[in-house]
């Protein structure tokens, strides 16, 4: 990471963000489905036959599935670059749209800075529940594991000075943001839906930054949403930049994949892609943000271990992009003096400061026009 970039980002972040007491002015808002397939049963539908609500006669009928649902809001004085938010494992787009303690969510903070916000529920999650898979969902008590993995602390103890309120109701709201995944866990399904969402977002509000550029969008990804984010940028030229909050996976040029990195929670491995695909990531600005409580050395803590290897892989990923002529910035927040961030940085107590940081980066890339 370039030192000048850090300084620029730091100085700009000190400027105050929008005050919560100011009005939020929108042009319009709504939702749309993006992508998906249509399952069509053979035969002809017979309008006169009814076999009960639970057991439809499927003959001749259809079932739409595997789409994403996108919630969008277009602010007044909208900037050219719409932000398309992609959530990670275990939840839906909710993580961008709320905080567990009732403050405004990250997408709202960016709306206040006049960036159009498009928030995805990926196929099978949240309101995009219709999938082509047959899935059984059952209560699996796992919240203490996530408390640890997502670096709130080591259950039941919170990290010192963590940017997460320690009251019971905040934790209650945080876990209720989670929602099951009804999909077949097929990366191609996610990518098809994301690409359709990119196309529609670009068509709605992505304006040209330069006369020669087509309309584009900025992907904003989190955690397990990070990996499909890289592939989406490779696969869809309308992606003009990617900002990723603690991405979980990475691609590398074939022949340049780092050694797998084992940890207590599994092995982090880079995924090889042909050089001409990887090159695409060198043609757009990329920024990654990582929070606190990530050790450099092997530990016996689940959360620390899980993100230790992913942060180390992120460093190699940024190096690979920059080595091939790209523009990747890895922001390790504690190194900027920004401490206490969990894995859910976007809804942490200092999410206003993080929104300022992101805005400053977008400005630095001239994506704020």
Considering only residues 167 to 226 of the shown chain, the ones binding its own copies according to CB under 8 A are 172-173, 175-180, 182
Of residues 49-78, which lie at the interface with its own copies (CB under 8 A)?
50, 52-53, 56, 58, 60-65, 67, 69, 71, 76
Nearest to 130 by CA among 189, 182, 184: 182
The answer to whether 88 contacts its own copies (rule: CB under 8 A) is no
Strands 83-86 and 217-222, bridge-based pairing:
parallel
Closest approach of its own copies to the CB of residue 111, in Å: 9
Cβ neighbours for 46, distance < 8 A, ≥ 6 positions apart: 57, 59, 60
Distance CA 288, CA 220 (A): 10
Residues 316-335: x where in contact with its own copies by CB under 8 A, - otherwise, as a string: --------------------
Q: Which region among 26-34, 226-234, 245-253, 268-276 touches its own copies (by CB under 8 A)?
A: 26-34
Query: Using CB under 8 A, which of 3, 23, 210, 212 touches its own copies?
Result: 23
Distance CA 282, CA 191 (A): 20
Note whether 331 and 283 are within 8 A (CB): no
Q: Which region among 17-25, 243-251, 320-328, 331-339 touches its own copies (by CB under 8 A)?
A: 17-25
Nearest to 70 by CA among 25, 131, 28, 127: 127
**What one-character DSSP code corresponds to residue 279?**
H
CA 265 to chain CA centroid, nearest Å: 21
Distance CA 243, CA 247 (A): 10
Query: Using CB under 8 A, which of 79, 113, 125, 151 touches its own copies?
Result: 125
Phi, psi (deg, nearest 5) at residue 219: -80, 135
Q: Of the two residues 196 and 362, which places its CB atom closer to its own copies in the complex?
A: 196
Q: Of the two residues 45 and 271, which places its CB atom closer to its own copies in the complex?
A: 45
Q: Which region among 126-134, 215-223, 250-258, 313-321 touches its own copies (by CB under 8 A)?
A: 126-134
Closest approach of its own copies to the CB of residue 243, in Å: 22
Query: Using CB under 8 A, which of 83, 86, 118, 131 touches its own copies?
Result: 131
Query: Using CB under 8 A, which of 1, 18, 86, 94 touches its own copies?
Result: 94
The answer to whether 261 contacts its own copies (rule: CB under 8 A) is no
Residue with tokens 């993080």: 354
Of residues 132-171, which lie at the interface with its own copies (CB under 8 A)?
132-145, 148, 154-155
Distance CA 277, CA 231 (A): 9
List Cα–Cα distances, 150 to 61, 307, 308, in angstroms. 43, 9, 12
Of residues 238-257, which lie at the interface with its own copies (CB under 8 A)?
none
Count of residues of this chain found to bind its own copies when the rule CB under 8 A is applied: 86
């Amino acid at each position: 990471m370039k030192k000048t970039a850090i300084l620029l980002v730091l100085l700009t972040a000190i400027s105050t963000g929008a005050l919560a007491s100011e009005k939020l002015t929108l042009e319009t808002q709504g939702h749309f489905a993006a992508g998906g397939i249509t399952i069509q049963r053979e035969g002809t539908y017979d309008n006169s036959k009814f076999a009960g609500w639970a057991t439809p006669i499927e003959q001749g009928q259809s079932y739409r599935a595997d789409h994403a649902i996108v919630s969008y809001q277009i602010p007044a004085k909208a900037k050219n670059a719409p932000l398309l938010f992609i959530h990670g494992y275990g939840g839906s787009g909710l993580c961008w749209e709320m905080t567990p303690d009732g403050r405004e969510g990250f997408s709202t903070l960016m709306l206040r800075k006049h960036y159009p916000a498009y928030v995805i529920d990926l196929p099978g999650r949240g309101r995009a529940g219709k999938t082509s898979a047959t899935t059984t969902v059952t209560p699996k008590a796992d919240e203490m594991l996530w408390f640890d993995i997502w670096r709130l602390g080591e259950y039941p103890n919170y990290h010192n000075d963590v940017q997460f309120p320690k009251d019971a109701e905040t934790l209650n709201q945080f876990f209720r943001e989670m929602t099951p995944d009804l999909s077949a866990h097929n990366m191609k399904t996610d990518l098809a839906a994301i690409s359709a969402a990119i196309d529609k977002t670009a068509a709605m509000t992505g304006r040209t930054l330069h006369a020669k550029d087509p309309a584009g969008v900025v992907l904003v990804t989190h955690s397990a949403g990070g990996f499909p984010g890289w592939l989406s940028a490779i696969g869809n030229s309308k992606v003009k930049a990617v900002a990723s909050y603690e991405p979980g996976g990475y691609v590398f040029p074939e022949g340049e994949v780092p050694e797998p990195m084992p940890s207590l929670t599994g092995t982090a491995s880079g995924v090889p892609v042909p050089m001409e695909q990887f090159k695409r990531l060198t043609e757009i600005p990329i920024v990654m943000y990582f929070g606190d409580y990530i050790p450099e050395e092997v530990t016996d803590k689940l959360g620390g271990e899980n993100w230790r290897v992913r942060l180390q892989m992120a460093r190699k990923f940024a190096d690979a992009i920059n080595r091939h002529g790209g523009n990747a910035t890895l922001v390790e927040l504690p190194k900027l003096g920004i401490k206490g961030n969990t894995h859910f940085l976007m809804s942490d107590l200092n999410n206003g400061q993080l929104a300022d940081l992101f805005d400053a980066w977008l400005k630095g890339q001239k994506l704020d026009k």
